[in-house]
């Protein structure tokens, strides 16, 4: 079932880039593709797409992905061999719960290996979708457009350099869609993935050098183990993620490496995650994400013009070396067990606000480690503005910069009966959050606590303060 409704309005508003049918190039069967101009890859193989039945028997062979998409049935797979495919692809029909329709690159562009968030990508010998010939109609503009349910898109590299705004890598309107192991990068002014159906799964993708990483709509989508880096100003304001809809879980993603010189201060201030407007964005869970080295970037801006945005939680995230703040203007936002180090250099990190963007009533801030956030004594703390009602803040561990981890003073917003102010929480290595292996969420991570840490077991109900559970090795 096609779920246009809300997403269409959003995508439509972003696609005022002229008309033209995007699928002209891919409509003729078995035409041989010439190599595309502007490609940095040498095409060494003839493009080959096999249509496989559920027993992996080859039914047909094509040279374009769309030719396969035109006839693929539930339970079948379009298997795409390495090569450069200069086309846009659009689904024609749905799979079923038992018999999905799969589009799979034979040699995936992005590979996830456990443990931790570890995505490796290859720059050749995969199926690359690039060039001018994206799918485009009055609603969407993208390399792969999913308009049906129970579709899997796995393993593609998608990129193109030409300067033209509002292109997307993968646009999904279907429900029960799985988008995995793709490497999407260098697309001008658009999003790596825009997904709008229900019950989706977006995982193990790398998205880099984009205007936006992920636009999330619909309901109950699980977004995990994706790697996002370098969101840049290009035609419009940049953001790592924008989230709308309800009951999404966003966990174990790695957001890293934004550079100030690519983000003109007068034009953009990317957020790691943002929501806004008179829309729905409820019950959003953002947990175990690893955020590191983001210049000229805010943690979040959660605003509303109506009543449909509320109930977000930020739990067990690492936030390290982030220049901006987290602005909360919506009700019922929980901030718990996060480790926040070296952020918001000349201001306060976490602001529960009341005013033009809404009122952040019923907020909860507990069991967080706030270390070296802000340059003046009170700035490691969080701020609760006048007008915010029923705010609960306690059990936070707050200290200044290493090596002194000084006590904070002049803070009157909240009186924490059980908070800790000042003192060294004894990290394994505060200078190296990833640890020697360079991978987030592994045993060697530098922001794990040493056994003598004064943050262990002193949070509410005896939990450890900060993102990691202390474990003896
Ligand atoms: Ca933004
Ligand atoms: Ca590590």
- The Å distance, Cα 447 to ligand 2 centre, comes to 9
Percentage, residues of the chain above pLDDT 70: 87
Q: Which of 232, 132, 218 has its CA nearest to residue 190?
A: 232
**Terminal Cα distance for the chain, rounded:** 50
The structure tokens listed for 186 are: 């260098």
Whether the CB-CB separation of 329 and 280 falls below 8 Å is answered with no
pLDDT digits (tens, 9 = 90+) for 374-418: 766 556 678 999 999 999 999 999 999 999 999 888 777 788 999
Task: Give residue 46's pLDDT band: very low, low, confident or very high (50, 70, 90).
Answer: confident
Question: Phi and psi for 149 in degrees, rounded to 5?
Answer: -95, 160
Question: Phi and psi for 205 in degrees, rounded to 5?
Answer: -100, 150
Q: Which of 83, 50, 81 has its CA nearest to residue 67?
A: 50
Q: Return the H-helix or E-strand segment holding 11.
A: helix 5-13
> Which of the 8 DSSP states describes residue 428?
S
- 151 vs 35, which has greater pLDDT? 151
Measured from the alpha carbon of residue 272, the closest ligand is 1
∠ CA 278-288-119 to the nearest 5 degrees?
A: 105
- The Å distance, Cα 322 to ligand 1 centre, comes to 14
**pLDDT at residue 377 in the model:** 59
- The Å distance, Cα 192 to ligand 1 centre, comes to 16
Asked which of 7-21, 141-155, 161-175 is least confident by mean pLDDT, the reply is 7-21
**pLDDT at residue 454 in the model:** 97
Asked which of 33-37, 168-172, 181-185, 352-356 is least confident by mean pLDDT, the reply is 33-37
Q: Which of 296, 293, 340 has its CA nearest to residue 315?
A: 340
- The Å distance, Cα 114 to ligand 2 centre, comes to 11
**10 has a pLDDT exceeding 60:** no
User: How far apart are alpha carbons 288 and 250 in whole angstroms?
Assistant: 8
**Positive/negative CA dihedral, 124, 127, 132, 134:** negative
Peptide bond into 155 cis (omega under 30): no
Whether the CB-CB separation of 168 and 190 falls below 8 Å is answered with yes
- The Å distance, Cα 205 to ligand 2 centre, comes to 19
**2 has a pLDDT exceeding 70:** no
**64 has a pLDDT exceeding 70:** yes
Asked which of 145-154, 180-189, 449-458 is least confident by mean pLDDT, the reply is 180-189
**Highest mean predicted confidence (pLDDT) among 42-51, 137-146, 305-314, 369-378:** 305-314
- The Å distance, Cα 427 to ligand 1 centre, comes to 32
Residue 356: burial class (beta carbons within 10 Å; 0-12, 13-18, 19+):
exposed
Please name the residue that has the structure tokens 């904070």: 408
**pLDDT at residue 14 in the model:** 37
Measured from the alpha carbon of residue 299, the closest ligand is 1
**pLDDT at residue 298 in the model:** 94
- The Å distance, Cα 332 to ligand 1 centre, comes to 21
> Which of the 8 DSSP states describes residue 128?
E
The structure tokens listed for 257 are: 């490496």
pLDDT digits (tens, 9 = 90+) for 69-113: 999 999 999 999 999 999 999 999 999 999 999 999 999 999 999
Measured from the alpha carbon of residue 211, the closest ligand is 1
Measured from the alpha carbon of residue 236, the closest ligand is 1
- The Å distance, Cα 274 to ligand 1 centre, comes to 6
Measured from the alpha carbon of residue 468, the closest ligand is 2
User: How far apart are alpha carbons 427 and 435 in whole angstroms?
Assistant: 11
**pLDDT at residue 160 in the model:** 81
Residues facing 101 on adjacent strands: 151
- The Å distance, Cα 211 to ligand 1 centre, comes to 10
**pLDDT at residue 124 in the model:** 81
pTM of the full structure: 0.90
HEC states along 94-110?
CCCCCCCEEEEECCCCE
Q: Looking at residues 455-461, what average pLDDT do you find?
A: 97
- The Å distance, Cα 443 to ligand 2 centre, comes to 6
Whether the CB-CB separation of 216 and 248 falls below 8 Å is answered with yes
Measured from the alpha carbon of residue 292, the closest ligand is 2
Whether the CB-CB separation of 72 and 90 falls below 8 Å is answered with no
Q: Max Cα separation, the chain?
A: 73
- The Å distance, Cα 317 to ligand 2 centre, comes to 14
- 409 vs 11, which has greater pLDDT? 409
**pLDDT at residue 263 in the model:** 77
**pLDDT at residue 130 in the model:** 85
User: How far apart are alpha carbons 3 and 197 in whole angstroms?
Assistant: 6
Helix, strand counts (H, E) of the chain: 2, 44
Q: Looking at residues 287-310, what average pLDDT do you find?
A: 96
Measured from the alpha carbon of residue 446, the closest ligand is 2
Residue 113: burial class (beta carbons within 10 Å; 0-12, 13-18, 19+):
exposed
The structure tokens listed for 191 are: 């999003």
**pLDDT at residue 32 in the model:** 35
Average pLDDT, the chain: 88
Task: Give residue 1's pLDDT band: very low, low, confident or very high (50, 70, 90).
Answer: very low
Measured from the alpha carbon of residue 434, the closest ligand is 2
Task: Give residue 366's pLDDT band: very low, low, confident or very high (50, 70, 90).
Answer: very high
Task: Give residue 331's pLDDT band: very low, low, confident or very high (50, 70, 90).
Answer: very high
Q: Looking at residues 269-285, what average pLDDT do you find?
A: 96
User: How far apart are alpha carbons 62 and 189 in whole angstroms?
Assistant: 31
Percentage, residues of the chain above pLDDT 90: 72
- The Å distance, Cα 329 to ligand 1 centre, comes to 14
Q: Which residues contact 312 (CB under 8 A, 6 or more apart)?
A: 281, 283, 284, 285, 286, 302, 330, 332, 333, 334
Q: Which of 81, 84, 85 has its CA nearest to residue 25?
A: 85
User: How far apart are alpha carbons 375 and 438 in whole angstroms?
Assistant: 28
User: How far apart are alpha carbons 349 and 18 in whole angstroms?
Assistant: 42
- The Å distance, Cα 207 to ligand 2 centre, comes to 21
């Amino acid at each position: 079932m096609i779920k246009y409704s809300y997403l269409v309005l959003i995508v439509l508003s972003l696609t005022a880039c002229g008309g033209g049918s995007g699928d002209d190039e891919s409509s003729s069967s078995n035409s041989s593709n010439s190599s595309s101009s502007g490609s940095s890859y040498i095409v060494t193989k003839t493009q080959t797409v096999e249509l496989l039945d559920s027993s992996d028997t080859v039914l047909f062979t094509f040279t374009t992905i769309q030719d396969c998409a035109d006839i693929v049935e539930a339970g079948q797979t379009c298997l795409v061999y390495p090569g450069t495919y200069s086309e846009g692809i659009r689904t024609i029909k749905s799979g079923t719960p038992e018999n999905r329709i799969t589009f799979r690159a034979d040699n995936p562009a992005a590979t996830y290996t456990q443990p931790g968030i570890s995505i490796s990508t290859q720059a050749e010998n995969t199926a690359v979708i690039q060039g001018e010939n994206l799918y485009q109609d009055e609603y969407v503009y993208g390399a792969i457009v999913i308009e049906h349910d129970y579709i899997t898109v796995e393993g593609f590299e998608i990129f193109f350099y030409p300067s033209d705004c509002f292109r997307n890598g993968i646009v999904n309107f279907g429900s029960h869609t799985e988008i995995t192991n793709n490497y999407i990068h260098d697309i001008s002014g658009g999003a790596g993935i825009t997904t709008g159906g229900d019950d989706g799964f977006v995982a193990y993708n790398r998205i880099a050098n984009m205007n936006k990483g992920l636009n999330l709509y619909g309901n109950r989508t699980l977004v995990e183990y994706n790697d996002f880096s370098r969101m840049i100003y290009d035609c419009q304001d940049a953001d790592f993620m924008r989230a709308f809809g309800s009951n999404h879980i966003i966990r174990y993603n790695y957001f890293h490496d934004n550079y100030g010189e690519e983000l003109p201060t007068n034009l953009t201030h990317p957020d790691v995650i943002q929501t806004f407007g008179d829309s729905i964005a409820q019950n959003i869970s953002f947990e175990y994400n690893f955020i590191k080295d983001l210049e000229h970037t805010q943690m979040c801006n959660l605003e509303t013009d109506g009543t449909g945005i509320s109930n977000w939680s930020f739990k067990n995230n690492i936030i390290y070396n982030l220049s901006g703040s987290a602005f909360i203007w919506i009700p019922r936002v929980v901030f718990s067990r996060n480790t926040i180090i070296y952020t918001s250099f000349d201001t306060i990190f976490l602001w529960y606000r009341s005013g033009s963007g809404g009122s952040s009533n019923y907020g909860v801030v507990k069991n967080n480690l706030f270390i070296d956030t802000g340059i003046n004594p009170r700035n490691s703390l969080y701020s609760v503005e006048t007008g915010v009602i029923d705010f609960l803040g306690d059990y936070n561990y707050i200290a200044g910069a290493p090596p002194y981890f000084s006590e904070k003073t002049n803070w009157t917003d909240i009186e924490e009966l059980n908070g800790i102010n000042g003192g060294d929480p004894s990290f394994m290595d505060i200078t190296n959050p990833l640890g020697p292996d360079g991978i987030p969420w592994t045993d060697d991570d530098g922001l794990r606590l040493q056994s003598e840490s004064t943050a262990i077991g002193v949070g509410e109900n005896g939990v450890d303060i900060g993102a990691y559970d202390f474990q003896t090795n």
